């Protein structure tokens, strides 16, 4: 069954534990250009899944979330984005979950339904600064490499959103199994 009434793209993110979320939101508020900061900090798994397939996407996400125990991840290594700065999120379980979802979405929706960006291997991260002058981005990356000690976070849920050009509209949160 498809949702032809709403073709806005779907975004899938991984939610982290509340303490990590608050810490990352604080970094994002401090360093992301205010006029572009419409969202909380997030780890994007898929950037633009077909909105018309919302029901099928939700079914795939629900199945994987129920079968995946909450897991740990290491957050904090700086990732330089050229015109921005991010913190890497590293975990074998995270990589495995993304690979399983990618395989299943390719099978359910077809490879052509996924963007080139969404077909690639995930480099999980949280962007805390973007679309700034490269010198400003380098300065923040240098500073965060000194100030931010990597920490252990907990992956808690998959989140599904609709992209609407600015703020995302939440569709559903699917907790990982306890």
Q: Strands 71-80, 151-162: parallel, antiparallel or unpaired by DSSP?
A: antiparallel
Residue 28 within any structural domain of the chain: yes
pLDDT at 158: 98
Residue 166 burial by Cβ neighbours in a 10 Å radius (0-12, 13-18, 19+): exposed
pLDDT at 167: 84
pLDDT in tens, 16-62: 999 999 999 999 999 998 888 888 899 999 999 999 999 999 999 99
Residue 21 within any structural domain of the chain: yes
Residue 148 within any structural domain of the chain: no
Q: What tokens does 174 get?
A: 């699917």
pLDDT in tens, 129-173: 999 999 999 999 999 999 999 999 999 999 999 998 878 999 999
Residue 78 within any structural domain of the chain: no
Q: Given a cut of 60, is residue 1 above it in pLDDT? A: no
Q: Given a cut of 70, is residue 123 above it in pLDDT? A: yes
Residue 53 within any structural domain of the chain: yes
Q: How far apart are the first and last CA of the chain?
A: 30
Residue 79 within any structural domain of the chain: no
Give the pTM: 0.92
Residue 149 within any structural domain of the chain: no
The residue among 23, 33, 41 whose CA lies nearest residue 149 is 23
Q: Given a cut of 50, is residue 2 above it in pLDDT? A: no
Tell me what the mean pLDDT of segment 75-91 comes to: 96
d(C-alpha 56, C-alpha 112), whole Å:
16
The residue among 100, 85, 89 whose CA lies nearest residue 32 is 85
pLDDT at 3: 52
Residue 98 within any structural domain of the chain: yes
Containing domain of residue 15, as a range? Answer: 10-73+92-121+154-175
Count the domains in the chain.
Answer: 1
- Tell me the CA distances in angstroms from 105 to 35, 54, 57, 108, 159, one per residue in order: 33, 12, 7, 5, 15
């Amino acid at each position: 069954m498809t949702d032809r009434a709403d073709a806005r793209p779907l975004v899938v993110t991984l939610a982290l534990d509340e303490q990590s979320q608050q810490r990352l939101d604080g970094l994002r508020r401090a360093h992301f250009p205010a006029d572009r900061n419409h969202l909380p900090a997030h780890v994007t798994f898929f950037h633009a899944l077909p909105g018309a397939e919302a029901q099928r996407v939700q079914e795939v996400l629900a199945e994987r979330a129920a079968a995946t125990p909450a897991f740990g991840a290491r957050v904090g290594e700086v990732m330089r984005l050229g015109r921005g700065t991010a913190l890497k999120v590293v975990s074998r379980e995270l990589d495995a979950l993304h690979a399983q979802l990618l395989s299943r979405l390719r099978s359910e929706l077809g490879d052509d339904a996924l963007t080139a960006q969404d077909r690639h291997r995930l480099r999980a991260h949280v962007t805390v600064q973007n679309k700034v002058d490269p010198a400003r981005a380098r300065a923040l990356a240098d500073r965060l490499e000194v100030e931010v000690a990597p920490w252990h976070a907990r992956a808690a849920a998959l989140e599904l959103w609709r992209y609407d050009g600015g703020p995302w509209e939440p569709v559903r949160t699917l907790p990982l199994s306890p």
